Structure 1
Amino acid sequence: MSVSVIVPAYNAQDFICVAPASLQSQTLAPLEIIVVNDASTDETAKVVGSAATEDSRIRLINLESNLGPGGARNAGIEAAHGDWIALLDADDRFAPERLERLVKLGDETNADIVTDNLLIYDAVARKIVRQGFRRKGDEPHFNVTLDSFLYNAAGESTECDFGLLMPIFRRKTLLERRLHYPVSLRHGEDFHLMLDALLSGCVWVCTKDAYYLYTERMGSISKAASGMSRTKVNYRAMRAATDQLLSRPQISSNPRLRALVARRSNGLKWLDAKRDLIVKFKSEGPASVLKVCAKDPWVAWNVGRFLFRRVSRKLNALGHAALESRSSQPLR
């Protein structure tokens, strides 16, 4: 089975070689590496073109106008020839065995979509912070259903937003079901394609093993920006697009799905509010945040919940560290 890997790139001249390099060491060599230059204004095209002279699998597509990540991925999908299509962001990497393991799992389970766990990476600290979600149960993989996908796509209400998982697709499935990324949304477009895929009846299998190195925009350890992300965060647009889902018959007719979509919308509302609060805190100090909380009980409740979760996570981390320290001591 052959794999086409699509790498959208925008103003990525300083780091665009990293993603293709991780593909050149795959145990299952990709058929082609399609880099879609999304009308960059820097030397991205020149850097990729130079790399293509050394590796004939690298194909460069130059878009005349900036279409955003969704449009760039769509262009790559249209140009792909592989049996499977994998997506790789320009600031991320694959573990060497990723394609081989995911294609094998897809063939064994007859899945249309295969994803894996994430290795969350702080680029400034140069450390893997954690995995996207914790392994639960004995089964090495599980099916992602419409219900579980929506439940795990609600911002900070869940451990890992399943909309962030990076898929490999059967190209035949994408073409036959006319699945594509929305071009009107430039942040969170992944969620809508995956939702459309599930609504169309696609089988999605996810392994608990992690092979995708996902670079954080803001490092959990370093507290510094990676400097590589080109995504313009827009939670309001994401929320508006989520609210529009309630008009779709497959969702509006199902009380459970309606509730899950509303939950996601509420989670995005909080992410947007938190972002504004952080800006206010940095510019005006903590008193300004307290004033907002005093005026808006919803914000106050969410701030309290956010702080409680942060303290709980730190206490859990300290507990795990203490347990590991004891277990590493020799028995007497």
Structure 2
Amino acid sequence: MIQVSVIVPVYNAAPFLPLLFKALQQQSLADIEFVLVDNGSTDQSAALIAAFAAGEPRARAFSNRQVCGAAAARNTGIAAARGEWLGFVDADDWIAPQMYERLQTFAQAGQLDVAYCNAACFKDQPGDDTGTMLRRPKPAGILSGRDWLVACHQGGEQIASAAVSLVRRSVVLEHDLRWPEGCAVDDEIWTAELLLRARRVAFLDAALYGYRSNPGSASRSIEPQRVQWRIQGFRRVAETLWHLAEPESPPVRSALNAIADRNGLAALGALKQLADSPLRRATFAQLREGGFVQQLRRRNGGLKLWRRLLKEQINCLMAGR
């Protein structure tokens, strides 16, 4: 019986795949499968995935013929997965040989729905670490997903990432959880919706994941269309989490709203990467539609935000908007 399905979305990641493939092959957990989903790559990624799957009996290769984002690739992987547990790895990252054996043992012992570990950040090769992803003290013991959200918020820590998680697949299927397709900033939506449904969550204090600081990644690109896509993603996170927060208890609502507000402010902050251009003005006009800017202004009334909004408004007025 397959214990863990590791889902890997791939898009134009050919230079990074040999390191990842080696890490997958070195996994110490015997009952594991690797579900690799090519997302319309234009480099050699699809061929490399096919060759790896042909030589590695635990690997299966899938393809989304059109470029539709990592979230869609992960959803394809979830639909194909056969394991009791789900893990998610990005194609340009790395995992320690014992990662899934340790997480699965930890999760089984605690009868968890979600197990988290830490990640070491690196630039070129695992080992040249520049720090860890989660840096502040983590919630201790086994908590409900809602209590985990609150504890992370009160401790000033992010709620963690899917990359450092092991998730019970039955929870995903029971609640029909899916990654938000078409959203450039998808992790916090997935994680928040998962935690609102998880009954038992705990943290394994070990950096078992290697997160690459990749300047060429979609999340760091300064290409105008990529920046605009991220801005739209930040807005979607903010609006989704504001909505999720409404029926929750005050502590959970506060935690979700804090994440939402941070993403809303990130949407405005990212406008600076578009310079003073028609695209920047058009993007700000889109943010004003539907009351997003007004909602953000009501929730975050600081002088810095007011100055930012005034500057963008003046730019639009001068352009005749």
| TM-score between the two structures when normalised by the length of structure 1 | 0.71
Q: Which runs of 5+ in 1 are unaligned?
A: 218-224, 282-295, 303-332
After superposition, what is the alpha-carbon deviation per residue over 1:102-146, rounded to whole angstroms, capped at 9, x for unaligned? 00011011011111011111238972111223464896x553632
CA distances 1:158-195 after superposition (whole Å, capped 9, x unpaired): 444524652211222222221111113232x1222222
Q: 1 CA distance for matches of 2:208 and 2:54? A: 28
2:165 aligned residue (164, 167, 176): 167
Cα deviation digits, residues 291-322 of structure 1 (max 9, x gap): xxxxx9315999xxxxxxxxxxxxxxxxxxxx
Partner of 2:134: 133
How far apart are 1:61 and its partner, in Å? 0.2
Q: CA deviation at 1:93?
A: 0.9
Return the letter of the residue paired with 2:254. A
Contact 1:153 1:163 in 2 (8 A): no
What's the CA shift string for 1:38-71, capped at 9, x where partnerless? 1112221111112223212221101122221111
Structure 2 regions of 5+ residues with no counterpart?
220-225, 277-301, 309-321
| Matched residue, 1:213 | 210
Check the 8 A contact 1:243/1:265 in 2, yes or no. yes
Distance 1:273 1:27 in 2: 44
What is residue 257 of structure 2 aligned with on the other side?
262
State the number of aligned residues. Answer: 274
Q: Aligned equivalents of 1:170 and 1:280: distance in 2? A: 44
CA shift, 1:100, in A, is 0.9
CA distance in 2, matches of 1:267, 1:128: 27
1:230 aligns with one of 203, 218, 235:
218
Indicate yes or no: 2:115 matched with 1:143. Answer: no
In the TM superposition, what is the alpha-carbon distance from 1:8 to its structure 2 partner?
0.4
**TM-score scaled to structure 2, two decimals?**
0.74
1:198 is aligned to 195
Does residue 240 in structure 1 map to residue 248 in structure 2?
Answer: no
Aligned partners of 2:241 and 2:136: how far apart in 1?
30
User: CA offset at residue 258 of structure 1?
Assistant: 3.2
User: Percent identity over the alignment?
Assistant: 25
Distance of 1:137 and 1:160 partners within structure 2:
10
Tell me the residue number matched to 1:97: 98
Alpha carbons of structure 1 residues 262 and 4: separation in structure 2 relative to 1, 3 Å: closer
Which amino acid in the other structure matches residue 96 of structure 1?
P
Alignment of 1:1-332 (within 5 A): 2-123=3-124, 127-134=128-135, 136=137, 143=143, 145-149=145-149, 152=152, 158-160=156-158, 162-163=160-161, 166-187=164-185, 189-217=186-214, 225=215, 227=216, 229-231=217-219, 232=226, 234-248=230-244, 251-277=246-272, 297-299=303-305
Q: Distance in 2 between matches of 1:163 and 1:121?
A: 16
